[in-house]
Structure 1
Amino acid sequence: MRDKGNLTPVNSMDLPFQDERQGKSHTVNIAKENIWGDSTDSLYIPQSPTPHESFISDYLDPEITFVTAYFKLGRFQKGNTGDIHFDLNTYVTWMNEFANFNNNVIAFTDLPEIQQQLLALRSHLPKDRTQIHIVNQKDTWAFSLAPKIKEIFADEDYPKHHPNTVLEGYPCAMHVKYELIEKVIRQRMHRTKYLAWIDIGYFREKNQNIFHLKIPVDFQNDHIAFLQMGKFEPGHTASTIIRDNIFWVAGGMFVARPEYLIVFVEDYKRTVEDLLGRGLMSTDQQVIYIMYTKSEEARPRIPIQTYSASCKCDWFYLAKLCRLTWERFHKLKQSTFMEIYHRNML
């Protein structure tokens, strides 16, 4: 029986491959099993998720539109060792891989040079594949939280995890993901059945060829898919999750149908505001853990479907799985075409 709250691919098994355009089912080999041993007594699993009726996507193109962003934060320390720092050049280097990324992309930035670089990188792709919008940080809900977050971080007894609980702009940049996803949905900026967030620095391996990401074959349409990178432990509260900087899922990529994703975003923003009122704040990875622990009262309405590499160590596995799904689908289409071609030649 499928575990709706925690579906983590690990050991290989055959699953049906649904070609939504043709209405045909095929079989591919995808891994699935819970390898984390999560505390199901502590993990809140919403039942019977209800979509937002204004944004039903049943008849849209069964592809994924990806939303991404870069906002200027300056140079900052990553991790507590003090020997790793990220800056604009770091992200500009990683961003180059968007040149070969052949999904629809909607990007937001406060830097015109980032807008121009992304347009140049993707100029060889169909024009409708790319939208890039200039957004001022001051005009966003997420960055308007910065003064209050700075005040919280200024407490000398507040836990220090670079940059999560040190640089006030960093959690703002994490929270703005969900605000921008909401903007894309409400303004109907996408034309696809699935909508995803992907970090601007997600693709860190060089890709020589054009690639595409397709929804995993076992994705549950009333869930939101994340990559799991930590065990869901019992007994944690908002304070201990932030104090110990623990996480359950990775925030670098997530995907869902818009009618469910917008409900998740509403719950996420409500949780952020609640934490702020309690003098607590960190990144989206901690906020999501807090949302789904029974130790808190968030009670989100959309269940999370988790994926994981067997090594439990690959922070970029979800995109790799989506790429593998596309490659198998593409190969299947090619073989079907050749079969029909040869049959007609006889």
Structure 2
Amino acid sequence: MKFSYQTGFFICIILVVLLIFKDIYKYSFQFTLEKNARGSDANLDISEDLFYSLIYRNSSLNSTMMDKVISRLFTSPHSTLSSMNETDIENILDQNVNITNSNKNWTISFLVSKIRRHQQFVRKCVSKNFTLVTAYWDLGTFRKGSAGLFSTSLYKNLALSFRYMLNPFVIYTDSLEFKNLMETIRKNLSFCTKIIYMNRTNIGAFKLVDKIKKIYEQPNYPKYYPNTVNPAYAAAQNAKYNVMAETYRHGLFNTTYYGWIDVGYFRDLVDAKDFYVMVVPPDFDPTRLAFNRVNPHVETTDPLTVFRDNMVWVGEGMVIGKGNVIEEYERFYQRAVDFFLDLKLMNTDQQVIYSVYTKKGRQSLKPEIEIQPYLPKPPGNAWFYLGFLCRKVIKIP
């Protein structure tokens, strides 16, 4: 069998490509950084492992191929390499890549240009009118319903879902460990992130822990873990209205809308690597607060039954409202909590809100702000419908 010159050349090209990908595959799964120079103690993305595998083996790839591979890995929206500056890139190339000065200079210039364009695009995608607020208060390890034990390590893992959220983001915490983690997670989005490290006893809701404790110690008061067992947990749920209102009052990002989101709200997306932005849901009434409806609301239910039977109307994992409405609701909500405490009743904010909008609750408290419950549509978990309705994936070029 005779081969033409063109056929032979084509076969050689195929063999070279196969050898290159064989080496990439071989080395890409053997290198894991325990702690990189930028301060993260988490394992790097596989794209970063591949990058370091290439440069540490003193690659024999030609400079054009090397430039393309490095470029793709540096500018990947899934890679923290995109946060590196010109000096970082030059140091890595000097120490690990055997290329000429001219090629190195071209590579640095090209990568810096690509990285800056990527960063500029990300900044443009950040929401201008919707700030998200969350909090992690270190309550130790506690039992939660039938879901098992919840600990700091679990919440740290759940928080990874916020790495690619393109919204102004305010995090309150009394845990130095959690604060440091969030600084790492949001490093590339630090320009739209505020982390407030504070003593939780300075928040109004936590000043009521002793009162809540006495209610939970009543004989035959029903036990729902942790709602009616851990007074600090109930206070933490009530505190969300305090921190949302504080965020608005201090004008940390000065947006029109503010929303609470639980640390574990996107628990099914901790491994997702898409940038996303949270938007105000469709048909939202700016005079109300948006919640996710979980169960029907029976207006004739007695508040005593709501608290003692652990009844739920709307989920508390996400709350959305205009800044001034949230501030007004915080004052009303505190009045409602005091009212139910005087009746020797307490649970979480879910039971407070259900009870407020019963016939008896309306007669006693006269709420001026109404709830806008979003009815879940299948498929998906009904508890998280509102958040996924607001979540829009952004494709970064």
What TM bracket, shorter-length normalisation? 0.7 to 0.9
Q: Contact 1:65–1:196 (CA<8 Å) still a contact in 2?
A: yes
Q: Contact 1:229–1:313 (CA<8 Å) still a contact in 2?
A: no
Deviation of 1:257 (Å): 0.6
- SS of residue in 1 equivalent to 2:129: strand
Q: Unaligned 5+ residue runs, structure 1?
A: 1-60, 335-346
Q: Could you tell me which residue of structure 1 aligns to residue 339 of structure 2?
A: 274
- SS of residue in 2 equivalent to 1:118: helix
1:315 aligns to 2:383 (yes or no):
yes
Name which of 283, 287, 290 aligns with 1:218: 283
Aligned equivalents of 1:309, 1:190: Cα separation in 2 = 30
What letter matches 1:299 in structure 2?
A: K
Provide the aligned C-alpha RMSD in A: 1.8
Deviation of 1:101 (Å): 1.2
Q: Could you tell me which residue of structure 1 aligns to residue 176 of structure 2?
A: 112
What letter matches 1:228 in structure 2?
A: R
Normalised to the residue count of structure 1, the TM-score between the two structures is 0.73
Match runs of 1:6-25 below 5 Å = none
Identical pairs, percent: 35
Match runs of 1:145-160 below 5 Å = 145-160=208-223
Deviation of 1:116 (Å): 1.1
Normalised to the residue count of structure 2, the TM-score between the two structures is 0.64
Name which of 286, 289, 301 aligns with 2:351: 286
Q: Deviations over 1:177-203 (max 9, x none)?
A: 111112112222232111001111111
Q: Could you tell me which residue of structure 1 aligns to residue 297 of structure 2?
A: 232
Aligned equivalents of 1:237, 1:182: Cα separation in 2 = 29
Aligned equivalents of 1:201, 1:65: Cα separation in 2 = 17
What letter matches 1:300 in structure 2?
A: P
- SS of residue in 1 equivalent to 2:166: coil
Distance 1:239-1:294 versus aligned 2 partners, 3 A rule: same
Distance 1:123-1:313 versus aligned 2 partners, 3 A rule: closer
Q: Contact 2:134–2:260 (CA<8 Å) still a contact in 1?
A: yes
Aligned equivalents of 1:62, 1:139: Cα separation in 2 = 30
Aligned equivalents of 2:141, 2:332: Cα separation in 1 = 31
Aligned equivalents of 1:223, 1:139: Cα separation in 2 = 28
Q: Could you tell me which residue of structure 1 aligns to residue 240 of structure 2?
A: 177
Name which of 351, 358, 371 aligns with 1:304: 371
Aligned equivalents of 2:314, 2:231: Cα separation in 1 = 22
Bigger radius of gyration among the two: 2
Aligned equivalents of 1:170, 1:283: Cα separation in 2 = 8
Q: Deviations over 1:212-255 (max 9, x none)?
A: 11112211111111000011014212210011100110111011
Write 1 or 2 for the structure with the bigger share of helix: 2
Q: Could you tell me which residue of structure 1 aligns to residue 253 of structure 2?
A: 190
Q: Contact 1:159–1:242 (CA<8 Å) still a contact in 2?
A: no
Aligned equivalents of 1:111, 1:62: Cα separation in 2 = 29
Q: Could you tell me which residue of structure 2 aligns to residue 168 of structure 1?
A: 231
Q: Could you tell me which residue of structure 1 aligns to residue 123 of structure 2?
A: none
Judge which range, 97-106 or 179-188, deviates more: 179-188
Q: Contact 1:292–1:298 (CA<8 Å) still a contact in 2?
A: no
Q: Could you tell me which residue of structure 2 aligns to residue 69 of structure 1?
A: 135
Q: Contact 2:377–2:385 (CA<8 Å) still a contact in 1?
A: no
- SS of residue in 2 equivalent to 1:317: helix
What letter matches 1:103 in structure 2?
A: N
- SS of residue in 2 equivalent to 1:192: coil
Q: Could you tell me which residue of structure 2 aligns to residue 89 of structure 1?
A: 153
Q: Unaligned 5+ residue runs, structure 2?
A: 1-126
Aligned equivalents of 1:236, 1:133: Cα separation in 2 = 39
Q: Deviations over 1:249-302 (max 9, x none)?
A: 011101111111111111111100111112111100000011111122122111
What letter matches 1:265 in structure 2?
A: E
- SS of residue in 1 equivalent to 2:267: coil
- SS of residue in 1 equivalent to 2:130: strand
Match runs of 1:23-62 below 5 Å = none
Write 1 or 2 for the structure with the bigger share of strand: 1
How many residue pairs get aligned? The number is 265
- SS of residue in 2 equivalent to 1:316: helix
Deviation of 1:313 (Å): 4.4
Judge which range, 92-101 or 313-322, deviates more: 313-322
Aligned equivalents of 2:289, 2:128: Cα separation in 1 = 16
Q: Contact 1:263–1:301 (CA<8 Å) still a contact in 2?
A: no
Q: Could you tell me which residue of structure 2 aligns to residue 31 of structure 1?
A: none
- Stretches of 4+ moved more than 3 A in 1? none
Aligned equivalents of 1:185, 1:65: Cα separation in 2 = 9
Q: Could you tell me which residue of structure 1 aligns to residue 63 of structure 2?
A: none
Q: Could you tell me which residue of structure 2 aligns to residue 250 of structure 1?
A: 315
Deviation of 1:87 (Å): 1.1
Deviation of 1:308 (Å): 2.3
- SS of residue in 2 equivalent to 1:295: helix
Aligned equivalents of 2:282, 2:218: Cα separation in 1 = 47
